[in-house]
Amino acid sequence: MGATRTISATEFKAQCLDILDRLDNGEFEQVTITKQGRTVAVLLPLQPNAKAVTDLYGCMRGSVIIADDCDLTAPVFDEPFDAAEGVLHR
């Protein structure tokens, strides 16, 4: 993979298209843009859709706890739905 590069906003403005092309070609893994020594943006190359989905799938696994006495298949409402009575809008 390419290198990480840190540049000033002024330098980025002057070389924007070249930097974007080099990022796309894999020469840079990431480009950090600074303004007065403070990071204001980080540019990363786009991930292919398949890799982005793979990275996202299952990312929240284990973060939700469902109580043992909770039945997720049980009805939530006791009263009939409006649509069942022919009411489309309220």
How confident is the model over 50-63, as pLDDT tens digits? Answer: 777 788 888 888 88
pLDDT tier at 38 (50, 70, 90 boundaries)? very high
Query: Residue 69, class by beta-carbon neighbours within 10 Å (0-12 exposed, 13-18 middle, 19+ buried)?
Result: exposed
pLDDT score recorded for residue 1: 58
Cβ distance 43 to 31 under 8 Å?
yes
pLDDT score recorded for residue 30: 94
3-state secondary structure of 80: coil
pLDDT score recorded for residue 41: 96
What is the count of structural domains for the chain? 1
- What CATH number is attached to the domain comprising 14? 3.40.1620.10
Q: Is residue 22 part of a domain?
A: yes
Question: Could you list the residue range(s) of the whole structural domain that residue 10 is in?
Answer: 3-66
